[in-house]
Amino acid sequence: MAICKSRHRYWNLLGALPDDQGGIGRHKCCGCAYEKGYQAGLTRSGRILVDLNSLHESQAGTVRHKSPQAAYAKGYYEGVQASYQTMKFAV
């Protein structure tokens, strides 16, 4: 997979994620994982599973050595929360 160049690699909100230096998630971009989780949560897809092989690689910034699984879960949760805010305004 390609190297991630997105600015999300430096998002402070990802700095509190747990460290993860092993397994298939090693060096995967947590910013990419967060964004995929957020989109899944926003649509309430019911799919709370990250495809680690679909993520770009990254060892830069805030996401360095962080857990992509935790990033996806955080994104999913925050996406679900945002979906309820969007619904309030759509009514």
What pLDDT is stored for residue 89 in this prediction?
Answer: 55
How far is Cα 17 from Cα 70, in angstroms, rounded to an integer? Answer: 7
pTM: 0.87
How crowded is residue 42: how many other Cβ atoms within 10 Å of its Cβ? 17
Q: Tokens representing 2?
A: 């390609």
Q: What is the pLDDT of residue 87?
A: 66
Q: Are 46 and 90 in contact (CB under 8 A)?
A: no
Confidence (pLDDT) at 26: 81
Q: Give pLDDT, residue 39.
A: 95
Q: What share of the chain is helix, strand, coil (3-state, %, to 5)?
A: 55, 5, 35
Per run of 10 residues, the mean pLDDT along the chain (length 91 residues) is 88 91 83 95 87 89 89 96 76 48
Phi/psi at 31 (5° precision): -65, -45
